[in-house]
């Protein structure tokens, strides 16, 4: 969703801001803009559409040493040039870029209009620009504080002022904002990927914090105007991580990265001798771990589906009741928070508003919550009491792949730790550790079958509608398969428990509705075979994704996935559905990395 960049220093800000905006494209947006203070005036350029269209519209000789930029995902007001950011005050002096939503914007706008202000856009952000410009405070910082005192809502904002061209003032409340520290130059971004070419030394603002950023440094302070002590941290990110590196699409690049990234995630975390995992970041002693009686997993979309894989792993290995729920539902239903439940928030971005809100709700009611998060220093990571970083590296494609695999591996390690402080025997623990160790090599084996998977996917891409079915361990995989397929191909794909087909959906089966059946080699294989026979008897086409021991049965084609420890099978079964969705979308010639209507990180409600 919306992205922010900013620059102040001795270089020309324009190409730096534009490069930042290109890097933020993956988040999803509908318009973009920049504001530059050139010596005599502030110049603002906005365009509906792609960043390259904005770039093409800029005057050739545009220069300035300070500026801000934005990619907008429309919330208040339709997608128009006037509603794109930066938004400016009536006198053109103040320019603001904003991620988030100002809840009381309408009321403030009416008040300002009554005082004679006129508005050029329908955005909530323009209200902020007017409020800052109208403040009688002597400094930009005080004017911003004045304005913030009047608004309710969430924001990450960056502000420049024609009268104070030596600074950018930034503030954060509920939406991420990062300051990048350079040598006599400073950067602002809502997302690390926009900074990574310039610096690896960053400061994460906290909620309720503001900063004055000049070419030579920064000062952070609270809404109460007290200085806050912030030391830059070094980020472990390479520019290559956020580049295509010769690939046509980030989605495929990220799928192919999985053997190496999974290896990295497991490194140093497995304890073969005692058949357990080392998860120091959880900040939970064996005694703490033992004290929990239930586990509740909260995430959204695909993270929720992996949460279902996680809940099964915990039930199987730790024999604790565990379930997953969409954080987007949990947060709205006044949940009962139990003191002996371990809450687990799972999120790639660490910025998903629904999941972040659910975490706060748990904490507000005294619950204990740990995170499985990919982005280091993200909001959810920082709000949780402890957690497991996924170390998947940056994920740029909107459709999540490698981060989900890492979540599943993270859950397996958490289940192992919870199991080993209960009744999971050392030998069973060692069996799971051996299974985890083998995963990177086995993922490699699955990826080697890409040409065959691509062929099957090309065939499936012609179907208007598909079923993905699975049973128990296979069902969350089927859900993720349907999710990935619809996200990138825009085909209708639906997941069903194989056991539920006969209770209704079987009526839809005919030669035009193919089924992808996820069948691990486990105690339920025969039952799954029965479902496949039923589909086949009704002329339904079946693509089988199965372990080697599973017979072909009536399937029309088959993708074979190496066998793992039975509890870990879902982690491997999910890999072919990622490749399948990718290649089906490729056959259809779609914008795979930026599917329509979707954003990488859903930071609004
Ligand atoms: C699917 C997808 C989404 C995310 C969901 C949660 O490919 O990317 O369903 O899984 O929006 O996002 P995070 O994990 O960032 O909280």
Residues 186/9, Cβ–Cβ less than 8 Å: yes
- Mean pLDDT, residues 95-105: 93
399 C-alpha to ligand 1 centroid (Å): 7
Of 28, 400, 577, the one to substitute when testing ligand 1's pocket (max ligand atoms within 8 A of C-beta) is: 400
Q: Say whether 450 sits in a helix, a strand or coil.
A: helix
**DSSP readout, 358-417?**
HHHHHHHTT-EEEEEESSTT-HHHHHSSEEEE-------SSS--HHHHHHHHHHHHHHHH
Residues 1/99, Cβ–Cβ less than 8 Å: yes
For residue 559 and ligand 1, the question of a CB distance below 6 A is answered with no
Question: Where along the chain do its domains lie?
Answer: 3-242, 245-444, 449-605
Nearest one of 412, 395, 440, 258 to 344, comparing CA atoms: 412
For residue 401 and ligand 1, the question of a CB distance below 6 A is answered with no
Higher pLDDT, 501 or 438: 438
Within the chain, how many helices (H) and strands (E) appear?
A: 18, 27
* pLDDT score, position 78: 85
**DSSP readout, 260-271?**
HHHHHHHTTTEE
- Terminal alpha carbon distance of the chain: 11
Distance CA 60, CA 49 (A): 20
Q: Indicate the pLDDT class of residue 58, thresholds 50, 70 and 90.
A: very high
Token couple for 236: 């472990």
Residues 228/221, Cβ–Cβ less than 8 Å: yes
Look at 198-202, 219-223, 229-233, 595-599 and tell me which has the smallest mean pLDDT: 595-599
Distance CA 31, CA 33 (A): 7
Per-residue model confidence as pLDDT tens digits over 536-551: 999 999 999 999 999 9
Of 176, 251, 302, the one to substitute when testing ligand 1's pocket (max ligand atoms within 8 A of C-beta) is: 302
**Mean of the per-residue pLDDT values of the chain:** 94
β-pairing verdict for 515-519 and 164-173: unpaired
Per-residue model confidence as pLDDT tens digits over 243-299: 888 899 999 999 999 999 999 999 999 999 999 999 999 999 999 999 999 999 999
Q: Say whether 87 sits in a helix, a strand or coil.
A: strand
For residue 354 and ligand 1, the question of a CB distance below 6 A is answered with no
* pLDDT score, position 39: 76
Q: Indicate the pLDDT class of residue 196, thresholds 50, 70 and 90.
A: confident
Distance CA 248, CA 251 (A): 9
Nearest one of 168, 164, 4 to 98, comparing CA atoms: 4
275 C-alpha to ligand 1 centroid (Å): 31
Per-residue model confidence as pLDDT tens digits over 299-358: 999 999 999 999 999 999 999 999 999 999 999 999 999 999 999 999 999 999 999 999
Query: Any idea which residue has 């913030």 for tokens?
Result: 148
CATH of domain 245-444: 3.40.50.10490
For residue 325 and ligand 1, the question of a CB distance below 6 A is answered with no
Nearest one of 18, 22, 3 to 59, comparing CA atoms: 18
CATH of domain 449-605: 3.40.50.10490
For residue 383 and ligand 1, the question of a CB distance below 6 A is answered with no
Atom of ligand 1 nearest to the CA of 600: 8
303 C-alpha to ligand 1 centroid (Å): 6
Per-residue pLDDT for 76 more than 80? Answer: no
Per-residue pLDDT for 605 more than 80? Answer: no
Per-residue model confidence as pLDDT tens digits over 474-526: 999 999 999 999 999 999 999 999 999 889 888 999 999 999 999 999 999 99
Distances (CA, A) of 80 to 36, 123, 292, 387: 21, 10, 51, 41
| Cα 133 versus chain centre, distance | 35
Per-residue model confidence as pLDDT tens digits over 156-178: 999 999 999 999 999 999 888 99
Look at 57-66, 228-237, 454-463, 586-595 and tell me which has the smallest mean pLDDT: 228-237
Distance CA 114, CA 112 (A): 5
Question: Which stretch of DSSP H or E encloses residue 175?
Answer: none
Burial of 562 (0-12, 13-18, 19+ CB in 10 A): middle
Per-residue pLDDT for 32 more than 80? Answer: yes
- Are domains 3-242 and 245-444 of this chain identical in fold? no
Rounded to 5°, the CA angle 15-184-163 comes to 75
- Mean pLDDT, residues 190-219: 92
601 C-alpha to ligand 1 centroid (Å): 7
For residue 378 and ligand 1, the question of a CB distance below 6 A is answered with no
Q: What is the pTM of this model?
A: 0.86
Share of residues in the chain with pLDDT > 70 (%): 100
Candidate CATH numbers 3.40.50.10490, 3.40.140.10, 3.60.20.10, 3.40.640.10; the one for domain 3-242: 3.60.20.10
Share of residues in the chain with pLDDT > 90 (%): 84
Atom of ligand 1 nearest to the CA of 301: 9
For residue 399 and ligand 1, the question of a CB distance below 6 A is answered with yes
Nearest one of 556, 326, 342, 354 to 459, comparing CA atoms: 556
Distances (CA, A) of 100 to 49, 56, 97, 224: 20, 28, 10, 22
Q: Indicate the pLDDT class of residue 192, thresholds 50, 70 and 90.
A: confident
Per-residue pLDDT for 604 more than 70? Answer: no
Per-residue model confidence as pLDDT tens digits over 353-393: 999 999 999 999 999 999 999 998 888 999 999 999 999 99
Q: Render the burial of 428-459: b for 16+ CB within 10 Å, e for the rest.
A: bbbbbbebbebbbebbbebbebbeebbebbeb
């Amino acid at each position: 969703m919306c992205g922010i960049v900013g620059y102040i220093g001795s270089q020309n800000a324009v190409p730096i801001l534009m490069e930042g905006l290109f890097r933020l494209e993956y988040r999803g947006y509908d318009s973009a803009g920049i504001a530059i203070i050139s010596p005599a005036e502030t110049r603002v350029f906005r365009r509906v559409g792609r960043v390259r269209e904005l770039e093409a519209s800029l005057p050739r000789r545009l220069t300035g040493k300070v500026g801000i930029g934005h990619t907008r995902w429309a919330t208040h007001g339709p997608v128009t040039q006037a509603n794109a950011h930066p938004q400016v005050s009536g006198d053109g002096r103040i320019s603001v870029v904003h991620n988030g939503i100002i809840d009381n914007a309408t009321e403030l706008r009416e008040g300002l209009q009554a005082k004679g202000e006129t508005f050029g856009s329908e955005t909530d952000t323009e209200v902020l620009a007017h409020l800052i410009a109208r403040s009688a405070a002597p400094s930009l910082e005080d004017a911003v504080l004045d304005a913030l005192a009047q608004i309710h809502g969430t924001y990450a904002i960056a502000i420049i002022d024609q009268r104070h061209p030596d600074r950018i003032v930034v503030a954060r409340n509920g939406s991420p904002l990062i300051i990048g520290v350079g040598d006599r130059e400073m950067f602002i971004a809502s997302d690390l990927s926009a900074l990574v070419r310039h610096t690896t030394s960053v400061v994460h603002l906290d909620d309720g914090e503001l900063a004055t950023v000049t070419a030579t440094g920064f000062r952070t302070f609270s809404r109460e105007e007290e200085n806050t002590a912030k030391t830059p941290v070094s980020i472990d990110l390479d520019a290559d991580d956020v580049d295509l590196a010769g690939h046509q699409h980030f989605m495929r690049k990220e799928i192919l990265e999985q053997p190496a990234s999974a290896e990295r995630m497991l490194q140093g975390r497995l304890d073969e001798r005692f058949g357990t995992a080392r998860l120091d970041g959880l900040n939970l002693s064996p005694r703490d771990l033992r004290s929990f009686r239930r586990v509740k997993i909260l995430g959204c979309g695909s993270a929720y589906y992996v949460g279902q894989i996680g809940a099964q792993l915990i039930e199987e290995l730790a024999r604790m009741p565990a379930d997953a729920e969409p954080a987007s539902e949990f947060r709205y239903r006044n949940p009962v928070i139990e003191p002996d439940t371990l809450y687990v928030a799972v999120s790639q971005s660490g910025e998903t508003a629904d999941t972040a809100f659910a975490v706060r709700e748990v904490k507000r009611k005294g619950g204990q919550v740990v995170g499985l998060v990919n982005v280091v220093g993200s909001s959810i990571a920082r709000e949780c009491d402890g957690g497991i970083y996924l170390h998947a590296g940056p994920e740029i494609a909107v459709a999540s792949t490698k981060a989900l695999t890492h979540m599943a591996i993270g859950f397996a390690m958490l289940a192992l730790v919870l199991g080993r402080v209960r009744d999971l025997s050392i030998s069973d623990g060692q069996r799971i550790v051996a299974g985890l160790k083998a995963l990177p090599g086995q993922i490699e084996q699955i990826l080697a079958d890409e040409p065959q998977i691509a062929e099957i996917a090309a065939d499936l891409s012609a179907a208007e509608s598909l079923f993905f079915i699975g049973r128990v361990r296979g069902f969350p995989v089927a859900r993720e398969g349907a999710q990935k397929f619809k996200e990138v191909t825009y085909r209708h794909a639906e997941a069903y428990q194989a056991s539920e087909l006969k209770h209704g959906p079987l009526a839809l089966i005919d030669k035009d509705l193919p089924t992808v059946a996820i069948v691990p080699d486990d105690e339920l294989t025969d039952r799954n075979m029965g479902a496949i026979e039923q589909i086949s008897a009704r002329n339904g086409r079946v693509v089988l994704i199965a372990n080697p021991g599973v017979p072909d049965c009536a399937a029309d084609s088959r993708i074979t996935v190496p066998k793992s420890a039975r509890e870990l099978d879902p982690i491997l079964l999910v890999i072919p559905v990622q490749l399948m969705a990718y290649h089906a979308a490729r056959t259809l010639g779609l914008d795979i990395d930026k599917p329509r209507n979707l954003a990488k990180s859903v930071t609004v409600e």
